[in-house]
Structure 1
Amino acid sequence: MTQADLHKDDAPYLDVADPTFSIRSRAVMEARDASWYARTPYGLAALRYEDVQKLLRHPKLRQGSYRWPAHSGVTGGIFARWWESMLLSQEGDTHARLRRMANPAFSPKLITDLRPKFQALANRLIDQFAAKGECDFIADFTEPYATGVICDLLGLPFEKWRELADIAGEMGLALGVTFKQDLPVVEAATARLMAYAEDLVAARRAAPSDDFIGMLVQANADKSQLSDQELIDMIVLAIFGGIDTTRNQIGLAMAMFIEHPDQWALLAEQPDLAKAAVEEVMRVRPTVTWVTREATEDFTYNDLPIAAGTTLHLFSQSACSDPAVFANPDFDITADRKPHFGFGGGAHHCLGHFIARGDMTEALKLLAQRLRNPRFNGTVSWLPDSGNTGAISMPIAFDPS
């Protein structure tokens, strides 16, 4: 069957809303072999590398994640209001204005200055369990590490890490396919983080500072730059977004290396490979398994009519193992690869990608040197393997270096 002959109703169907569905399943690979796209409960899904690359920046597509609550059957509440209003869901001038407000907190120079703090934090956390030869990698490392990085970045006290990590984990349930059933937990967590952000604003107004939150509070003095609600929404995004995705991604990295012990040994021997290791992990096991766009008008792509309002999920997971582009897609931190889509692309390319790359690089470098021969040490508890995914708990054992 040629692409032109493939009618929309005949395209493969993937039930990505099913919590038991895996984005890495054979069904996805077979769908990718048969067609550049599939039908899903949320709209269409692009499966191949070339198409994902083109559609990320297509001029007739806008950022589409703003409709995620509605796709999940959630049409009101605190989280949906915040999600649909915050920076990542905006377009045009509003998006550009809000992004300018956030840019200073995520500059490459700032991340370079923070690297010694990343290293100190990682070593301090590893010190707490290294001699035991075992830990819950999520509870003992990825959660306090991801949260501690955000505390350093935003000028928050590290002592708050447990509370903030719990809130981020509970809010993060909204980004998975079980959002609606988890709604009460999500709403309560969002309300707690909103209240925390309001307290931070009050504290910075009483005692001005030159950190990121202090800068936002100063910008809020001119309501045309940043409204009161936009101020709170931005702080919530900076805390939640930085914790949830980094925690999940480092956990997924450990899972990949446990499954590929030769690569872990290589990283321990050559710590300079840590930067490439981050990119390779995000290619094969991204926490954000798809990027979303929405058609702003009717158009045709690859002979397929796409109506205005259609949601397209761009499957970064399947695109980055596409055999048409990756002749040998196996996990290899020494391979020269085309760019992955773990941070999205175009105008909505992840604002925090510099800090995510920087803190994960330092973490993997030190973990590989200090934890030898890591292996699973019990049952790993996972979020559903689509949407935003990751481990809830991951007991591991290792040989201390």
Structure 2
Amino acid sequence: MKPSDECFEAPFLNLADPDFSVRSEAVREARNKCWYARTPYGIAVLRYAEIGSLLRDARLRQGSYRWPAHNRASGLFAEWWLRMLLNRVGTDHDRLRRLVNPAFSPRLVTPLIPRFEAIAEEIIMAFKARGRCEFMSEFAAPFSTRVICEVLGLSHDQWGPLADASADMGLALGVTYEENQCRVNAATKRLFDYAQQLVAERRARPRDDFVSNLIKANEDKERLGDQELYDMIVLAISGGIETTRNQLGLGMSLFLDHPEQWKLLNAQHKLARNAVEEIMRLRPTTTWVTREPLEDITINGLVIEKGTTVHLFAESGGTDPRVFDSSVDIATEHKRHYGFGAGPHYCLGQAIARSDMTEAFRLLSRHLIEPQYDGAPAWLPDSGNTGPIKLPIKFKL
């Protein structure tokens, strides 16, 4: 890899360090010096313009397929990770994306919004009278999981075990994957068991829903193979639960740190959709995504060789002072963020995520007056996929 003129000596960021934070001063300083940094896993792109360009560049493939190898990990999760939609390329990726896209279109998501609202209301009412809650276990986990249960036609009674399995599986997406791989693989096995049970139930009693449509496509094995069917359902469960759970916690923590914005949302509930976009810009749970050049490419004078892992720091792009000011402002529509990615791998479930989080924060802001921390929160590492583990809060009745 040949350096660009601007960054003859690009800074180094140690992504392998369990204490590494995407929001650290080291990342901010690196972004000021150069648009990219060197890492143990290739390069990290830190500025908004270059992130957007590379996300849309057809010369790059999804690079996260190397993640298990980077972490010296093996087993069921690593095998699924290499097979699933996110890491397919070319016609395979296009085929699977076409099969799944209709199930996540805004046209089909919109009728579910009243159910998202009802789920949020029911969960909030269970703890509101106490004036406090542990937000992650009492709201974020049940809400995100029950939304996926609603989308997939699963019984809401299963939300607890599904949430636990998804949280354990999600550990693979952080820098502690290697040390947690036994736990990750066990959780992956549990989710495949759920997927197989769900397919058996739908084959016996078909519905007009996401899973039944996949089963129908599976009748033509060239269109959707048996393993692809189960892989897709596991992706829908794990991706839909864990990312939304984390994102709700990150959003609430952002509001706890900026109470004037919560007060504004409480006064103008219509700003809930804007609030979700501001959360995704400033505190995305997926702090970076990866790409890999299919050929040698040159960006800003930097030659990035074929096969190099390129990490695109969504959080760093969303706070780039060349594009955004430093304020948190849910009343303003900012330039597009990359919390959901962009290009051919744009987040499949973004329509559901935007809709369910909008309803969640709209209902939360209506019922929880002046929320504050009620003890110290606990956090996943502030890199990879991040979020609160525990977030105790209190509020006025």
Aligned to 1:259: 257
Aligned to 2:37: 38
Aligned 8 A contact 1:3 1:35 in 2:
no
**Among residues 105, 116, 129, which one is paired with 1:118 in the alignment?**
116
For residues 254 and 41 of structure 1, the distance between their equivalents in structure 2, rounded to whole angstroms, comes to 32
For residues 272 and 247 of structure 1, the distance between their equivalents in structure 2, rounded to whole angstroms, comes to 22
Q: Deviation at 1:5?
A: 5.2
Aligned to 1:338: 335
Aligned to 1:385: 382
Aligned to 2:352: 355
Structure 1 length as normaliser, TM-score? 0.97
Aligned 8 A contact 1:177 1:386 in 2:
yes
Q: Deviation at 1:153?
A: 0.4
The aligned length equals 395
Give the % identical residues: 56
Q: Deviation at 1:215?
A: 1.2
* TM-aligned CA distance change 1:295 to 1:163, over 3 Å: same
Q: How does 1:1-150 map to 2 (within 5 A)?
A: 4=5, 6-7=7-8, 10-74=9-73, 76-150=74-148
* Residue type at the aligned position of 2:250: L
* Residue type at the aligned position of 1:331: V
Aligned to 1:215: 213
Report Cα offsets for 1:173-195 as digits up to 9, x if no partner.
Answer: 00001000010100000011111
Q: Does 1:397 align with 2:394?
A: yes
Comparing 197-206 and 217-226, the one that deviates more: 197-206
Aligned 8 A contact 2:4 2:303 in 1:
no
Aligned to 1:205: 203
Q: Which segments of structure 1 move beyond 3 Å, counting only runs of 4 or more?
A: none
Aligned 8 A contact 1:46 1:313 in 2:
yes
**Gaps in structure 2 of 5+ consecutive residues:** none
For residues 378 and 103 of structure 1, the distance between their equivalents in structure 2, rounded to whole angstroms, comes to 42
Q: Deviation at 1:208?
A: 2.1
Give the secondary-structure state (helix, strand or coil) at the position aligned to 1:44. strand
For residues 200 and 258 of structure 1, the distance between their equivalents in structure 2, rounded to whole angstroms, comes to 39
Structure 2 length as normaliser, TM-score? 0.98
Aligned 8 A contact 1:383 1:390 in 2:
yes
**Among residues 364, 367, 373, which one is paired with 2:364 in the alignment?**
367
Aligned to 2:192: 194
Aligned to 2:305: 307
Give the secondary-structure state (helix, strand or coil) at the position aligned to 2:178. coil
Give the secondary-structure state (helix, strand or coil) at the position aligned to 2:369. strand
Aligned to 2:292: 294
For residues 174 and 296 of structure 1, the distance between their equivalents in structure 2, rounded to whole angstroms, comes to 25
Give the secondary-structure state (helix, strand or coil) at the position aligned to 1:308. coil
For residues 90 and 46 of structure 2, the distance between their equivalents in structure 1, rounded to whole angstroms, comes to 27
For residues 16 and 368 of structure 1, the distance between their equivalents in structure 2, rounded to whole angstroms, comes to 36
**Among residues 226, 248, 251, which one is paired with 1:250 in the alignment?**
248
Q: Does 1:271 align with 2:269?
A: yes
For residues 207 and 359 of structure 2, the distance between their equivalents in structure 1, rounded to whole angstroms, comes to 28
For residues 348 and 262 of structure 1, the distance between their equivalents in structure 2, rounded to whole angstroms, comes to 35
Question: RMSD of the alignment, in Å?
Answer: 1.1
For residues 320 and 129 of structure 1, the distance between their equivalents in structure 2, rounded to whole angstroms, comes to 34
